Amino acid sequence: MTMDLCRAHSPRLAGPAAAEPLWGAMSGILGIFNTDGHAVDRHLLASMARAMSCAGPDGQCQWVHREAGLAHALLRTDGVVPPTPQPLSFDGVTRAVVDARLDRRAELAAALAVAGRRVRDDASDEQLVLHAWHAWAARCVEHLHGDFSLIIWDSLHRRLFAARDRLGIRPLYWAKLPGCVIVGNVQQSLALHPDCSSRLNQQAAADFLLEGCLRDPHATFLADIRRLPPAHCLTLDGQLRLSCYWTLHEPAPLRYRRGEDYVHHFRHLLEAAVADRLPRGPVSVLMSGGLDSTSVAAIARRVAGAQGRLEAHTVIHRGLRPDAEERFALSAAAHLGIPVHFLCADEYRLCESGGSICEPACDALGQISNDLLRRASRRTRVALSGDGGDVIFLYPLGAHLRRLLARKRYAAAARDLAHYVRAFGGLPRPLLPRLSRWLGLGPTSPDLRQWRRTDLPQRADGRAVAEDWCRAQAAGALLDPFWPAVFEQEHPGYTGVPVEVRYPLLDLRVVEFVLAIPAVPWMLNKHLLRRAMRGLLPRCVRLRPKTPAGDLIRPRLLRGDMDGAGELQSQQIHTIIDARRVGPPRPDQHPVVRDLALRTVLLDRWLAQRQPRPAPEMGVFCHA
């Protein structure tokens, strides 16, 4: 048996006693699997792996054996604990590269013990994943909870297995090329394979322009590279197969006699979700002045204690379009006793971000988020986000009332409406424009399909939820392809910033609890979260009404950010959309058309500058 092991060394830091769990890293992962019988070219693997330096700047290792090659790039998220070396193997037969942060570790360890595999208390998440594979093979993913993408090669049976977590928080891509299959979580590393063309996926480009994200969960902007959807597995054992292992089902209803029991249970789950995502070193919170992110900060402060580990980073506007975020963020930070750092975004111009090699920027102001992460990276490798709160608490009062009226439950509808008015002092503001639309008085949005030149693909994720479920709207929003796109564009492989973003409000223990309890009153106006934050947040923040972000585009157009943007640089964009009819972004356009015009500029600039870039050099390679 011949092997080739290449390693880029990084200094090892002294770790704590072995009794502590090893939760110290995230990873760039990559695999090449030749289906034509030829041995993997280790120089090609190393070249592709170097493109993962953005996701793993702290060291690389590659393993090659005959027709299989695995590569790992390390991003240390905990400077205290030495990371587990990868590719990882227990028996020399099965090897894995894993990017994982697991929840419910004790539950997994107990299940492994029942299956005959006893694991140490200090086993790393990567080791637990490989133990799960040895215990349950492809069904291991049914026992894994948290954020993960993984690639496993069984050399005895010549079998490849790859999988992505349930909500798609960690990315994973693959391509079937002549004579090989490649898999990895950094798209640009796959794009460096010589047989992977740079041909544009025009259906995906049309999706992006008209919908704002790719509606086909399998698609990327490159025709040869596919995205593995959330909760999916890929298997190669002579045949290549994709399968979905999970969807969000309606949980069994949970009812308590006392209202406080809902609050205590929710706070306990949120504390567990935050604790599982806290590194032992410094951590940042991406905190606005709103309820969701300040709640995450409050729980993190409660769990971490007064050790000076926590700091907040907040985007504000002062002169361009003054907002209240600075005042509310200062109030929350002072109450929690944590420092807060402000990034004033007034001077950021539209369409400054060019996106990545493989994808255009999806947000005309995306550079702001990237720079916020870059500031956080000066002190920490982990940032907590409040994303997800608007989804899991989604239960529009209008939809609820329509459901009750359709079932002729008039008394219940009147009772719940009166309950809302008493609790919150009037009708919710979002309900008023809906009432206008029901009466035919509200404005209508233009149909963007009139400008397309290609047909949009049908949605193909196959993870629908039952329409008669009272929380179907929230569950459907959670499974929408929009969210994996958000997670992927905050991944270090996309941003190029060595910071891992974690999402406590999207912990499935929290999600399933919120979907199981009575929607009224707990979901309305985030009543449950506001009650849970009593004593943890200042009253002005805890009771702050939901505040739309406001129009950050129009003031920038009025000051001339897009002057001269009318001349498109790429001819290819005219095969996707009638760009001349759309026109350049203007302050007097309908916001929907204006957003389409901005995305047209973003896609055009990406198409015009798209050139293959050499993989960055990293590390010193040696043979072992």
pLDDT at position 618 over 70? no
Compute the chain's Rg from CA coordinates: 25
Alpha helices (H) along 285-409: 291-304, 325-336, 366-376, 389-392, 397-406
pLDDT at position 458 over 50? no
Q: Is the pTM of this model over 0.85?
A: yes
| Sign of the four-CA dihedral 206, 209, 215, 216 | positive
Q: 280 falls in which pLDDT band (50, 70, 90)?
A: confident
Contact 199, 224 (CB under 8 A): yes
Say which DSSP state 18 is in: T
Collapsing DSSP states into helix, strand and coil, what is residue 74? strand
pLDDT for the residue 350: 93
Mean residue pLDDT of the chain comes to 86
Q: 454 falls in which pLDDT band (50, 70, 90)?
A: low
Lowest mean pLDDT, pick from 171-175, 274-278, 317-321: 317-321
Q: 323 falls in which pLDDT band (50, 70, 90)?
A: confident
pLDDT for the residue 525: 87
Alpha carbon of residue 384 to chain centroid = 12
pLDDT for the residue 16: 28
Query: ω into residue 87 within 30 of 0, thus cis?
Result: yes
- How far is the first Cα of the chain from the last one, in angstroms, to the nearest whole number? 15
Question: What's the pLDDT tens digit per position in 379-428?
Answer: 999 999 999 999 999 876 777 777 778 888 888 888 777 766 765 666 65
pLDDT at position 82 over 80? no
- Rounded average pLDDT over 105-115: 96
pLDDT at position 469 over 90? no
pLDDT at position 83 over 90? no
Lowest mean pLDDT, pick from 167-171, 266-270, 297-301, 616-620: 616-620
pLDDT for the residue 17: 30
Rounded Cα distance, 9 and 7, in Å: 6
Say which DSSP state 200 is in: B
Rounded Cα distance, 143 and 135, in Å: 10
Say which DSSP state 339 is in: -
- Rounded average pLDDT over 20-32: 71
Query: How many Cβ atoms from other residues are within 10 Å of residue 156's Cβ?
Result: 8
- Rounded average pLDDT over 364-383: 95
Question: What's the pLDDT tens digit per position in 177-231?
Answer: 999 999 999 999 999 999 999 999 999 999 999 988 899 999 999 999 999 999 9
Query: Which residue ranges form the domains of the chain, and what is each CATH number?
Result: 5-9+26-247 (3.60.20.10), 259-393+481-542 (3.40.50.620), 397-438 (no CATH), 558-609 (no CATH)
- Rounded average pLDDT over 465-484: 75
pLDDT for the residue 583: 87
pLDDT for the residue 4: 40
pLDDT for the residue 554: 92
Contact 413, 318 (CB under 8 A): no
Q: 447 falls in which pLDDT band (50, 70, 90)?
A: low
* Overall residue count recorded for the chain in this entry: 624
Rounded Cα distance, 259 and 270, in Å: 17
Q: 529 falls in which pLDDT band (50, 70, 90)?
A: very high
Higher local confidence (pLDDT), 60 or 468: 60
Collapsing DSSP states into helix, strand and coil, what is residue 344? strand
pLDDT for the residue 55: 83
Structure tokens at 397: 């009062």
pLDDT at position 11 over 50? no
Element (H, E) at 44: helix 42-50
pLDDT for the residue 570: 86
Question: What's the pLDDT tens digit per position in 232-248?
Answer: 999 999 999 999 999 99
- Rounded average pLDDT over 134-141: 98
CA-nearest of 115, 126, 141, 169 to 235 is 141
